[in-house]
Structure 1
Amino acid sequence: MSLSPGAPEFADSHLIELLDGFGLAVKYVRAEGDTLYHDDGAGGEIGVLDLASGFGSLILGHHNPEIVAHAKQLLDEQVPVHAQFSGYSFGIDVAAALNRILRRELGTEEKFYGLFGNSGAEAVEIAIKHAEMDRGMKVAELLDGIEANLATAAEAVAGGAAPSAAALAALGVDTFDALAEEVRRRNAVTAARQPLFLALEGGFHGKLVSSIQLTYNADFRTPFKALAAQARFVPADRVDLAAKIVEEERVALLDVEVRAGAVELVERDFPVFAAFFAEPIMGEAGIKPLTADTARKLREVCDAVGVPLVADEIQSGMGRSGSFLASVHSGLRPDYVVLAKSLGGGIVKTGVVLVRESRYRKEFELLHTSTFGKDGFSSRVALKVLEMLEADDGAAYRRAAERGARARSAIEAVVAEFPDVLLEVRGQGLMLGVQFHDQSGSADELFREWSEHHVFAFALAGYLLHEKRIRIFSTASNPNTLRFEPSIFITDEQIDAFAAALRDVAQVVRDQDSAKLAR
Structure 2
Amino acid sequence: MDLLLSAVPSSAAPATDPAGAYGRYCKPGLVARLGALGLDVTYERAEGDYLWYQSGGRLQRVLDFVGGYGTTLFGHYHPDLVAGARRQLDARVPVFAQASCRSGAAELAEALCDRLGDFVVTFVNSGTEAVEAALKHAHLERPRPVVWAVKGGFHGKTLGAVQLTWSQRGMFSGMGPRVRYLDPDDPADWEAARAEVADVSAAVVEVVAGEGGVRPRPAAFLRWLADTCRDAGVPLVVDEIQTGMGRTGTFLASEAFGLEPDYLCLGKALGGGMAKIGAMLVRRERYVEAFSVLHSSTFAEDDPTCRIGLEALRVLDRDDLPGRCAARGEFLRRELRDVQARYPNQIADVRGLGLMTGLELRAQSDSPSQIIRAASEQGLLGYFGAAYLLHVHSLRVMPTLSQPLTLRVQPSAYVSEADLARFVRGVEGLCKVLRAADAGRLVDFGRAPGALVDRSSHPHPFRREPARTPRKVAFLTHLLGERHLATIDPSLARLPSAELAAFLERTAPLWEPTTLDQLHVRSAAGAAVHLTVFGLGMTAGQISRAMRTRDQGWILEKLEAAVERAVAQGCQAVGFGGYTSIVAGNCKKIRAPGAALTTGNSLTVGMGLLALEQEARAAGIDLRQAKVGVVGAGGNIASTYAQMIAPLVREIVLVGRDRESPRLLAAHAAVRRAAPDTRCTLAEDCSALTDCALVVSASNTPEPVVYPRHLRRGPVVVCDISIPSDVSEEVVRERPDVRVIRGGVVRLPLDPEFAVGGIALPAGHSLACMAETLLMGLEGVQESWSVGAVTVEGVRRAMAAAARHGFAVADTGPLTSGTADQFLAELRAKPVDYPATGRATGATRTRPAAG
Aligned twin of 1:185? none
What runs of 5+ residues in structure 1 fail to find an aligned partner?
A: 104-110, 137-193, 251-270
Partner of 2:91: 77
Rounded Cα–Cα distance in structure 2 between residues aligned with 1:338 and 1:90: 19
For residue 224 of structure 1, what is the aligned residue in structure 2? Answer: 172
Query: What amino acid maps onto 1:224 in structure 2?
Result: F
**SS of 2:46's equivalent?**
strand
Answer yes or no: is the 8 Å Cα contact 2:163–2:174 preserved in 1.
Answer: no
Q: Is the counterpart of residue 454 in structure 1 residue 379 in structure 2? A: yes
- Assess if the C-alpha contact under 8 Å between 1:314 and 1:341 holds in 2: yes
Aligned length: 428
* Partner of residue 27 from structure 1, selected from 33, 42, 58: 42
Counterpart secondary structure, 1:423: strand
CA contact under 8 A between 1:89 and 1:375: conserved in structure 2?
no
Determine the structure 2 residue equivalent to 1:48.
62
Contact 1:432 1:485 in 2 (8 A): yes
1:375 match: 302
Contact in 2 for aligned 1:214/1:230 (Cα 8 Å): no
SS of equivalent to 2:300: coil
SS state at 2:276 partner:
coil
* Aligned counterparts of 2:269 and 2:52: Cα–Cα separation in 1: 21
Q: 1:37 to 1:242 in 2, by over 3 A?
A: same
What is the deviation of 1:23? 0.9
1:339 aligns with 2:354: no
Measured against aligned partners, the alpha-carbon deviations of 1:355-410 in whole angstroms (never above 9, x if no partner) come to: 11122111110100111111111111111111111226xx2211111111111111
The question of whether the paired residues in 2 share the 8 Å contact of 1:4 and 1:25 is answered with: no
Ranges of 4+ aligned residues in structure 1 off by more than 4 Å:
none
TM-score relative to the length of structure 1: 0.80
Query: Aligned-pair distance for 1:225?
Result: 1.4
Give the alignment's TM-score, normalised by structure 2: 0.49
**Aligned with 2:227 (options 300, 314, 320):** 300
> Structure 1 residue 354 and structure 2 residue 269: aligned?
no
- Call closer, same or farther: CA 1:240–1:98 in 2, change over 3 Å: farther
Q: What amino acid is aligned across from residue 31 of structure 2 in structure 1?
A: I
For the pair 1:113 / 2:140, whether they are aligned, the reply is: no
* TM-fit CA distance, 1:224: 0.7
- Aligned residue runs from structure 1 range 427-466, under 5 A: 427-466=352-391
Distance 1:27 1:125 in 2: 31
Structure 1 residue 235 corresponds to structure 2 residue 250: no
Distance 1:240 1:474 in 2: 31
Give per-residue Cα distances to partners, 1:170-201, cap 9 Å, x unaligned.
xxxxxxxxxxxxxxxxxxxxxxxx72110111
Shift of 1:57: 0.2
Residue number in structure 2 paired with 1:212 = 162
Distance 2:286 2:28 in 1: 44
Residue 217 of structure 2 is aligned to residue 290 of structure 1 = yes
Letter in 2 for 1:68: V
In structure 1, distance between residues paired with 2:287 and 2:313: 24
Contact 1:91 1:375 in 2 (8 A): yes
For residues 405 and 327 of structure 1, the distance between their equivalents in structure 2, rounded to whole angstroms, comes to 18
> What SS does the corresponding residue of 2:371 show, helix, strand or coil?
helix
Distance in 1 separating the partners of 2:322 and 2:187: 30
Q: Counterpart of 2:19 in 1: which secondary structure? A: coil
Of the structure 1 ranges 280-289 and 464-473, higher mean CA displacement relative to structure 2 is found in 280-289
Report the Cα distance in structure 1 between the residues aligned to 2:294 and 2:191, rounded to whole angstroms.
Answer: 33
Matched residue type, 1:212 = V
How far the C-alpha of 1:293 sits from its partner, in A, is 1.8
- The residue number in structure 2 matching 1:472 is 397
Query: Structure 1 residues 343 and 240 mapped into 2: Cα distance closer, same or farther (>3 Å)?
Result: farther
SS of 2:360 mapped into structure 1: strand
Q: Distance in 1 between matches of 2:238 and 2:359?
A: 24
1:384 alignment partner in structure 2: 311
Q: Does 1:329 align with 2:343?
A: no
SS in 2 for 1:208: coil
- Contact 1:242/1:301 (8 A) holds in 2: no
SS for the counterpart of 1:494 is helix
Is this contact kept in 1: 2:211–2:400, CA < 8 A? yes
Conserved in 1, the CA contact under 8 Å of 2:363 and 2:377? no
For residues 291 and 273 of structure 1, the distance between their equivalents in structure 2, rounded to whole angstroms, comes to 22
Q: What amino acid is the match of 1:72?
A: R
Q: Which runs of 5+ in 2 are unaligned?
A: 1-12, 445-851
Q: Equivalent pairs: percent with the same residue?
A: 39
2:643 aligned partner: none
2:256 alignment partner AA: H
Hey, what's the Cα distance between the residues in 1 that align with 2:102 and 2:18? 46
Task: Give CA deviations for 1:328-365 in whole Å, capped at 9, x if unaligned.
Answer: 11222211110000011112111001111122111110
Is contact 2:102–2:302 with CA below 8 Å preserved after alignment?
A: no
- How far apart are the structure 2 equivalents of 1:240 and 1:402? 37
Aligned-partner residue type, residue 226 of structure 1: G
Q: Which amino acid aligns with 2:154?
A: F
Counterparts of 2:294 and 2:131, CA distance in 1: 16
SS state at 2:273 partner: coil
CA distance in 1, matches of 2:81, 2:439: 43
Larger RCO (CA within 8 A; separation ≥ 6): 1
1:96: which partner in 2? 110
Deviation at 1:452, TM superposition (A): 2.7
User: How well do the aligned residues superpose, as a CA RMSD in angstroms?
Assistant: 1.7
State the alpha-carbon separation in 1 of the partners of residues 235 and 97 from structure 2.
Answer: 32
Larger radius of gyration: 2
Q: Distance in 2 between matches of 1:47 and 1:116?
A: 35
User: Which residue of 2 is the match for residue 513 of structure 1?
Assistant: 438
- 1:245 and 2:193 aligned: yes
Cα distance between partner residues in 1 of 2:51 and 2:187: 41
Give the drift of 1:240.
Answer: 5.7
Q: Which has the higher helix share?
A: 1
